Amino acid sequence: MAADLSSLGHLLRVRGPTGLADIAVALGCSTKTAQRLIAAAGDAAVGAGQTRRRRIAWRRDVRGQRTESPVYRVGTQGRPERVGLLRPISPQGCHFEVESPAWPAPDEARDGWYGGLPYALYDLRPQGFLGRAFARRHGATLGLPPDPRQWDDDALLLGLGAFGDDLPGDLLVGDLALRRFLDTRLQATAPLPDAGLAAAYAGLAAQVMEGALPGSSAGGEFPKFTAARELPGMATPHCVI
């Protein structure tokens, strides 16, 4: 195999994260030449790990676009903090560059390499009654199946990045989801008062059965919706009905 940039890209697209010495052997060149090729690749290549653990991977486009997704954690006061940067890599999986500790990393991912998505992001997958409504509502816009159980990792990443501003958990994936979250906070309606609560619930229930999907995508198979209501003494007004 020739020691050029095209060959480096082909090698890493097939092999995935690979050590410098193995790259040099596969390309039939010195490690210094391999290092120069990696530097010439610029942001098409991702490197992580110290000394002998260091691996290089080739970034993977999602739907034909170079993708990198900042990941944010929303604190108890509703303020988001950036915790890392996720980059899909070839032939599958991703690299997650930790900027602030967000979740315990398994030993095999201590340098940020994941065979799929970071496990914490799978908890955001739309599921159950409202998850299916979420997929039906947004799937066509994104070109995704209407059943979220059919979403692969790339589909999940697209869904989270485009409309994942109000899913279970405290994580946001991508700047678009962050902007939607912040816009929603600015436009938030007042919690429902006890007076007229039954009528308000009936209206929300009718909307969710019609697919209007008020509130967040909580899991579970039974019909439900989410709302904010006046709950004196509680830490949050948000609830699942």
Instruction: Locate the domains of the chain by residue range.
Output: 5-57, 65-186, 197-240
Helix (H, G, I), strand (E, B) or coil at 128: helix
* pLDDT value of position 209: 66
Which of 120-129, 143-152, 187-196, 203-212 shows the lowest per-residue confidence on average (mean pLDDT)? Answer: 203-212
* Domain boundaries 5-57, corresponding CATH code: 1.10.10
Nearest to 150 by CA among 162, 166, 164, 139: 139
The CA distance from 87 to 48, in Å, is 12
Average pLDDT, the chain: 86
Decide which of 125 and 193 is more confident: 125
Q: What is the pLDDT, as a whole number, of residue 3?
A: 80
Q: Please tell me which residue, 194 or 95, carries the higher pLDDT value.
A: 95
Q: What is the pLDDT of residue 167?
A: 85
pTM of the model: 0.81
Specify the 3-state DSSP secondary structure of 213.
Answer: coil
Q: How confident is the model at residue 1 (pLDDT cuts 50, 70, 90)?
A: low
Q: What mean pLDDT is predicted for residues 68-75?
A: 96
Q: Residues near 162 by Cβ (< 8 Å), separated by ≥ 6?
A: 138, 141, 142, 174, 176, 177
Q: Is the pLDDT of residue 229 over 90?
A: no
Which ranges of the chain does DSSP label H, i.e. alpha helix? 5-15, 20-27, 31-41, 119-122, 128-142, 153-163, 175-186, 197-209
Confidence of residue 213 (pLDDT cuts 50, 70, 90): very low
Q: Count of CB atoms within 10 A of residue 48's CB?
A: 18
Any residues with CB less than 8 A from the CB of 210 and at least 6 apart, and which? none
User: If you average pLDDT over residues 9-20, what whole number do you get?
Assistant: 97
